[in-house]
Chain A
């Protein structure tokens, strides 16, 4: 999708957080991304250094956790793994399923570094 512009809005969020908490720089930035989010983790990693350059997050590291693709069956109640193009229940084959995990595109946490050292928020 739009990994560079997503990275830019991610950096905006991270910068805002760093400023709010008076941090000097940023360590780990952790995202959770599912296969149905429309976001390509590899492209996100490529775009990140360009988006973060010259910001408080310039030295930060992007960590992307991959969310599993899981559905819950409304017919038999089973919770099973699925494929992006096949979201039917792996147990009974029903197409009446709900996505339990797999469309996440979340900023999970940001590690803030302050000059005085540890500063619990």
Chain B
């Protein structure tokens, strides 16, 4: 579908097209309000695919353990893959310093007061990176369960973290975010015995209510507990990404692009 030849006009939206009202003309547009961001995200994804790189966007509330997960992941995969990290925070270089202390290239984006990363910020950061020398690029988004979900950065997969010190009803409260997850990690799971109000089963049930069939894993990054399934997931995602690139294909994170075609089919 394009925006130039009129093929985006369907029976369902035709009423919006070419509707003259008293000396005025209605022009059908049918463009996402985030069109500019989405175009930039496509460009970023081309950068990543050209380097056969797997790019993963980590999203969660503040303090649910994104940076700790990255530290543990770098320790575990240090001899296997070359990893890079883009950090997003409102202020400070703290997270990038923690990552660099592990001997991995990290670039900190400080957003000022913006509560999410967008595709343009990530693109600027890419030029600070030796992309050709990386296998996996992690983007640690600003800790926030609302806005980051709506901005495509060009990543291939979204990983959402939910720490067990939060409520197990978070997926029900923040459906836009949790629906976007390709993988849900229940973090700080070593604390579960101390918490009587968090049920991993309820958290998963709330996720399934969003029509999500993605894997759910429990781990405790700082204790290096339960990391194996997560590391295996990364390995297979990287292998799939390389196979896709070799076929000349790419992938967007959830919600999948075929949703857009369903919209058309439904009309």
Please measure, in the bound complex, the distance between the C-alpha atom of A108 and the C-alpha atom of B14, giving whole angstroms.
10
Is there a chain B Cβ closer than 8 Å to A114's Cβ?
yes
Chain A's nearest CB lies how many Å from the CB of B45? 20
- B20 and A108 within 8 A (CB): no
**A interface, over-half SS:** mixed
Interface string of A29-70 (1 = CB under 8 A from B): 011000011110000000000000000000000000000001
Question: Total contacts A to B, CB within 8 angstroms?
Answer: 146
On chain A, the residues within 8 Å of B18 by CB distance are: 120-121
Of B73-81, B168-176, B220-228, B230-238, the one contacting chain A is B168-176
On chain A, the residues within 8 Å of B16 by CB distance are: 30, 108-109
Is there a chain A Cβ closer than 8 Å to B195's Cβ?
no
Is there a chain B Cβ closer than 8 Å to A101's Cβ?
yes
**B interface, over-half SS:** mixed
- B24 and A111 within 8 A (CB): yes
Interface string of B15-27 (1 = CB under 8 A from A): 0111111111111
- A109 and B33 within 8 A (CB): no
- B29 and A17 within 8 A (CB): yes
Among A99, A100, A112, find the residue whose CB has the most chain B CB atoms closer than 10 A.
Answer: A99
- B175 and A121 within 8 A (CB): no
On chain B, the residues within 8 Å of A118 by CB distance are: 20, 22-25
13 A-B pairs with C-beta separation under 8 A: A9-B33, A12-B36, A13-B29, A36-B176, A85-B173, A86-B210, A87-B211, A95-B209, A106-B29, A111-B24, A114-B23, A118-B25, A121-B25
Chain B interface residues toward A at CB < 8 A: 13, 16-36, 116, 146-147, 149-150, 171-173, 175-176, 179, 206, 208-213, 255, 258-259, 262-263, 266
